[in-house]
Amino acid sequence: MTDTLSYPDVTQWAVPFFILAILGEFAWIAIKGRGGRYETRDAVTSLIMGAGSVASGIVLGFLAWGFFKWLWVLTPLDLGTSLAAIIICFVLDDLRYYWVHRFGHRIRWVWASHVNHHSSQHYNLTTALRQTWTGTFSLVMLIRAPLVLIGFHPALVLFVSGINLIYQFWIHTEAIGKMPRWFEAVMNTPSHHRVHHGRNARYLDCNYAGVFIIWDKMFGTFVPEQDSEAVDYGLVHNLGSFNPLRVAFHEWVGIWKDASQSGLTLRQRLAYMVAPPGYSHDGSRDTSQTLKEKHLARHPEDAGTPGFN
């Protein structure tokens, strides 16, 4: 069994590339006069969220790493570090990402960590860096456990996850329209991921893919970008603050306020923590499902079209 194995921290090494790509995208937009928008405070907030996410990983990463190393001691399996093992691990990790991401939109406890990534009303390369500070608390690390238990070394699992994250950087742009058809069919692209960032009723809760869009097609969550409906970026209830602390923690505060209300049953308190975002015990709020239903009530002609199937 491989006990000591190390790979470079690819997300840290990618930082210079991230900065250059952001400057390149901005220059492209400024010169061409199209392909996206930048706003100072929005971009700065996104960049600070990215820096905070790296810092959070440095400070709290030992918890996940300790958990994976514990699993690695438990498992009798070792699939090694061959190129084939790396490729298979990458593909399975992307499947893992799909489900983590889907849970991130359907379970409020996980959404509380992920919501900040969707909190910008812009969609440019800085949005890609608007990452969570509280991923450790969402406990989604548990979903990586099977990869380690079937014999992929924890260092390899984290390495391919880093590559997955770097892949997703370039798809946060409006500067690229559509890629060639074969690429759009298999891979996650700017077009597919723009849809994922939409707050339009049509585009809620879809396109969870990281690298391969095939997972959404397999599991019935794929919605193609519609020429007839531009993506409206941001949250259903947009934030009114650029303060990174508020961006990072607002949904956790919301969970606390909701679950600690007086007069609730235990089941209702738990539902405020783990039911889909928008749950309320008195039905006063909207989930993505009720938002879609209300949209269809106003626009019955949209029934049966993508996003309203």
Partner 1 sequence: MPLEILLALVIGGIGVVTLLLHVTGRSERADLSDDTAGLAWLRQFPEDDIHQVLISQDGHAALLRTSQGMGLVWAFGADTVARPLADCTLKNTATGLRVSFHEFAAPTTRLILTETERANWRLLMKPA
Q: Which stretch binds partner 1 (CB under 8 A): 84-92, 120-128, 164-172, 209-217?
A: 120-128
Member of 178, 186, 237, 289 binding partner 1 (CB under 8 A): 237
Rounded CA-CA distance 142/222 in Å is: 25
Kindly tell me which of 52 and 135 has the beta carbon lying closer to partner 1: 52
Member of 35, 61, 224, 234 binding partner 1 (CB under 8 A): 234
Q: Is residue 42 close enough to count as binding partner 1 by CB under 8 A?
A: yes
Kindly tell me which of 87 and 303 has the beta carbon lying closer to partner 1: 303
Member of 126, 173, 221, 287 binding partner 1 (CB under 8 A): 126
Member of 71, 95, 166, 239 binding partner 1 (CB under 8 A): 239
Kindly tell me which of 200 and 268 has the beta carbon lying closer to partner 1: 200
Rounded CA-CA distance 198/192 in Å is: 10
Q: Is residue 192 close enough to count as binding partner 1 by CB under 8 A?
A: no
Mind giving me the DSSP string for 207-267? Answer: ---SSBTHHHHHHT---PPPTTS---BS-SS--S---HHHHHHHHHHHHHHHHT-TT--HH
Residue 139 sits at the vertex; the CA angle it makes with 132 and 235, to the nearest 5 degrees, is: 40
What character string, x for contact with partner 1 (CB under 8 A) and - otherwise, covers 58-77? x-------------------
DSSP letter at 118? G
Q: Which residues pair with 198 in a beta bridge?
A: 233
Q: Is residue 184 close enough to count as binding partner 1 by CB under 8 A?
A: no
CA-based Rg of the chain, rounded to a whole angstrom? 20
Q: Which stretch binds partner 1 (CB under 8 A): 46-54, 64-72, 174-182, 215-223?
A: 46-54
Member of 33, 76, 180, 240 binding partner 1 (CB under 8 A): 240
Residues in CB range of 85: below 8 A, 6 or more apart: 79, 152, 156
Residues in CB range of 297: below 8 A, 6 or more apart: none
Pair of tokens at residue 301: 């002609």
| Residues within the interface to partner 1 (CB under 8 A) | 9, 12-13, 15-16, 18-19, 22-23, 26, 30, 37-44, 47-48, 51, 54, 58, 121-122, 126, 232, 234, 237-242, 246, 249-250, 253-254, 257, 294-295, 298
